[in-house]
Amino acid sequence: MAQFSTDSAAASTGEGSPLPSLAACTALSINQVRSLSPLALAYVGDAVYELHMRRCLLMPPKQLRAYPQQVVDQVRAEQQAYYLGCLKPHLTDEELDVVRRGRNAAANRKTRASLQDYQQATALEALIGYLYLTAPHRLNEVLAHLPFTPELA
């Protein structure tokens, strides 16, 4: 089992640490990203999408207890499926291929959402994960097309 180190020299080199440094984690080649499964991309995309929604919902300021439900409303499979439909006209062929792969990788599992919504939500998350890892500027362009108004959330 890996041990956490309190030694500053070991911490700076990553020795004794169970995780590589942040810098080592941030740079993946396009080939490395393309080798990831669609579900791995969706795993990353899920986190990025939720953080994006949390950031969007910060304004206008509100009481802290209001945030969680507003975020949940935006990250539900049904809402993600709707958003994917809104984004598709703005996607490149390469991005649509990532969407197709993500949709097809979604397992037929018991969820509160319909299978179609779950597949579309997984496809959106795969796309977001792919863009986050390969082209963050393009991710921002794509997310700007979401028909989301924080004041109405």
Residue 85: exposure state from Cβ atoms within 10 A (0-12, 13-18, ≥19): exposed
In whole angstroms, give the CA distance from residue 121 to residue 128.
Answer: 11
The catalytic residue among 46, 73, 93, 97 is: 46
Catalytic site residue 117? no
As given in the structure block, the two tokens for residue 76 are 């539900």
In whole angstroms, give the CA distance from residue 23 to residue 5.
Answer: 18
Active site residues per annotation: 46
